[in-house]
Amino acid sequence: MREKVAGILATQRTWTLMAADTQPQTAASGLKAAIIPVTPFQQNCTLIWDEATKTGAVVDPGGDLDQIQAAISETGIQVEKILLTHGHIDHAGGADELRARLGVKIEGPHRADAVLLDNLEMQGAAYGLPARNVTPDRWLEEGETVTVAGHVFDILHCPGHSPGSVVFVNKPQKFMLAGDVIFRGSIGRTDFPYGDHEALIGAIKTKLFPLGDQFAFICGHGPTSTIGAERRSNPFLT
């Protein structure tokens, strides 16, 4: 059964990414995604790939690497890189090990999260989770781009939940990977060390809202949504 959810067309656990007001050109065109909830925090580790070339990326491999690798096998994709939205353990705790297993590079987040990525092992010990410290191969800055199978994502630096949080924005398909910046009906917590509530609200309102209501997003926890739905009804943002 195919159900349209927040502008993202779902077929069981794989998703065709598209704007809320458009239809995919063909079932085989463009980017697809699959969400694998990982760690006790049920973090939305996301596989994103080009359906035509079956090449893609793993976003936020926080842990449970065997599950992530099973999903990679199931989708039959060739992973070309790992992307990180920010440095919390549920998003980045498995990144160093997955990089070694797959032989790929890590891009993101912004360098301001180095302080978190350098302490993942300690964060893990506090929660009883295995984790390794990780240094990405590439830090990301506002205005830069990354590619996944040739599809371009613009980088927005959106501090507040963590100082180095980034959002990956694919304009052609009006789609974002939002990490823990914004959720359906909520926003990222800012009571952690380095959190900044005002900065987070500012980043959402000045960087994400102007993208337009049609933009759909996968976030770090819970269901997908759109900018329009959150602009109208998110209690933290209205």
Q: Point out which residues bind Zn ion (CB under 5 A).
A: 88, 90, 180, 220
User: What's the number of CA atoms in the CB half-sphere (13 Å) around residue 158?
Assistant: 30
The sign of the CA dihedral 153, 159, 161, 162 is positive
Q: Closest approach of Cβ 216 to Zn ion, in Å?
A: 19
Nearer to Zn ion, 109 or 220 (CB): 220
User: What's the number of CA atoms in the CB half-sphere (13 Å) around residue 217?
Assistant: 30
Nearer to Zn ion, 88 or 174 (CB): 88
Are residues 175 and 148 in contact, defined by beta-carbon separation less than 8 angstroms? no
| Contact residues for 72 (Cβ-Cβ < 8 A; gap 6+) | 47, 58, 79
Nearer to Zn ion, 111 or 171 (CB): 111
Q: Closest approach of Cβ 87 to Zn ion, in Å?
A: 8
Nearer to Zn ion, 7 or 109 (CB): 109
Q: Closest approach of Cβ 127 to Zn ion, in Å?
A: 12
Segments in 178-219 forming alpha helices (H): 197-203
Q: Closest approach of Cβ 221 to Zn ion, in Å?
A: 6
